[in-house]
Amino acid sequence: MNTGAWSSMLMLATIAPSLPAQDRSSARSMVISDRGMVATSQTLASQAGAQVLARGGSAMDAAIAANAALGVVEPESCGIGGDLFAIYWDAKTGKLSAINASGWAPKGLTIAALKAKGATEMPQEGIDSVTVPGAVDGWAKLHQRFGKLPWRDLFQPAIYFAQHGYPVTEMIGGAWKESEKKLGGDINAKRVFLRNGEAPSVGEMFANPEMAAAYRLLANEGPSVFYRGALAEAILKTSQRLGGTMTAEDLAEYSAEWVEPISTEYHGWKVYELPPNGQGVAALEMLNILSLYPMASYPSRGVEELHFQIEAMKLAYADLHRYVADPHFSPVPVAGMVSMDYARERAARIDPAKASCQTPPGEPRSMPGDTIYLAAVDREGNIVSLIQSLYQHFGSGVVVDDYGFALHNRGGLFTLDEHHPNALAPRKRPFHTIIPAFMEKGDTHIGFGIMGGLNQSMAHAQFVVNLVDHGMNIQAALEAPRFTKLDFGGCEVQIEARLTKEVREALAARGHRFKVMGDFSSNMGGGQVVVHDAKTGVNYGASSPRKDGAAVPEPAPYWQ
């Protein structure tokens, strides 16, 4: 078979089953519709987004509405107290737009100030882990450019669920239960999110009238209420009560930033990520290294494929840890990190027969030139790839006075090492783990993302290999067993139990050390995918079984 025919067959496989339905390895079917679609990690939020599409909303309207609803029904992962990144693909022009709505450190949050309090490392909880939340300003800028419906309409599902309540789902309920100690340490968090000191049970109805009040203000008064109005005042009151450093100017002067996506070619596909301060550059570096090996000839999830993927991940993550920070403060050699010459240099360090447990960063030359993820596509084929997060479960553990939402702890990703590019500094954004992604080839356009802290870049790369090299459809590519590593350095890797004992033993013989997780471990990160086939106008969606969500199509106008 010639290369062109093989490439066409693989592209078709992304939107068609690669095996007969009765003989497939994936547990779920793709969702397929000639109308729009929203895929999120909680079905009520997916449904809310799909209803917005049915009301004439754009993909961006649906994404914002779904995200706002997720802040209610998945409160440990996201909300208006967090940050946001998004990619938008315009079906008419083929143009990509992207926004970085990650917040900066308050002017008064300095290394000296924290050391004066006795800190020897960045706090991971409490008010000193809080940076300015950027999500609301991100929504505002995205809606202004790509929205159709009135701003107020987008928050009605969130207000409804917050006021009337919703039944707690399985994965979310488990994360909530694990957070009881953190929630118990904050007077507001304890009152709002615990009942008699305990998290709500799975299936139990939960309402948050205080959060409903916050969303009503946001809906009726607009995004400025969060940075200069009543919600800003509540954030500042909470911060001052807890000894924080945030000021009115820190909030009022914040602005999300439009950015240009970065990209690479992987076996005929163009794969896009966002530039630093996020970790997307590591996904591209990893894919560049893997492109030098015959991934399609290796058995899927077999010894050779996994060995080279794990080793490529270590090389890319060593560079990530060394170089990635806020580029407004520390130049990041992005062009060097995603160049193929540099990929060849890094790949030369991989021993085909042995795992490396000490992987130093390279020297890329400067060259010119708990999180939720959701994806939405509308009838016109416009795609939104959006990720939003509080970072760890319930973020900082600090819940805002009177308004029932948690503030994130993204400041915990700074370092107190003054010589590191990611050192804490006033008005600086920390290194960020959350990354949306997009890929395309010919008429096929895909918005995708996979959650889970440091897991995300390596999960993106594994998804792309499953799709491009092994011809899996989007659902199978999401479900396939994965590995992850949630720290930097060493040979320890987590893997899902579905990887066979024979494969694990062969990899162990090469020096890899494994912690075997469940069949569908949340540590591997749930993900969502939407695809638009520009040739047929048909949309496809997929949702990972590692989360509570689903891809939900826009309802048809049955009764009109």
Task: For residue 283, name the pLDDT band (cuts at 50, 70, 90).
Answer: very high
Task: For residue 24, name the pLDDT band (cuts at 50, 70, 90).
Answer: confident
pLDDT in tens, 112-164: 999 999 999 999 999 999 999 999 999 999 999 999 999 999 999 999 999 99
> Taking a C-beta distance cutoff of 8 angstroms, is the pair 131, 235 a contact?
no
Residue 20: per-residue pLDDT = 55
The C-alpha atoms of residue 355 and residue 311 are separated, in whole angstroms, by: 7
Q: Which residue has the tokens 């990509």?
A: 96
* Torsion angles phi and psi, residue 401, rounded to 5: -50, 130
Angle separating helix axes 209-221 and 59-73, nearest 10 degrees: 150
Q: Averaged over 315-328, what is the pLDDT?
A: 94
Whether the per-residue pLDDT at 489 is higher than 50: the answer is yes
Whether the per-residue pLDDT at 267 is higher than 80: the answer is yes
Query: Taking the CB of residue 34, how many other CB atoms lie within 10 A of it?
Result: 12
The C-alpha atoms of residue 346 and residue 337 are separated, in whole angstroms, by: 10
Q: For residue 354, give the DSSP letter.
A: B
> Taking a C-beta distance cutoff of 8 angstroms, is the pair 149, 57 a contact?
yes
- pLDDT over 90 percentage in the chain: 90
Q: What are the residues whose beta carbons fall under 8 Å from the beta carbon of 240, sequence distance 6 or more?
A: none
Q: What are the residues whose beta carbons fall under 8 Å from the beta carbon of 80, sequence distance 6 or more?
A: 68, 71, 133, 135, 136, 214, 215, 218, 226, 231, 405
- pLDDT over 70 percentage in the chain: 95
Least confident segment among 1-10, 37-46, 375-384: 1-10
> Taking a C-beta distance cutoff of 8 angstroms, is the pair 325, 419 a contact?
no
Residue 393: per-residue pLDDT = 94
Task: For residue 362, name the pLDDT band (cuts at 50, 70, 90).
Answer: confident
SS3 state at 271: strand
Residue at 80: amino acid letter = I
Quote the mean pLDDT of the chain.
93
The C-alpha atoms of residue 263 and residue 279 are separated, in whole angstroms, by: 13
Residue 28: per-residue pLDDT = 87
Whether the per-residue pLDDT at 22 is higher than 90: the answer is no
Annotation says 245 is catalytic: no
Which of these is catalytic: 371, 433, 444, 484? 371
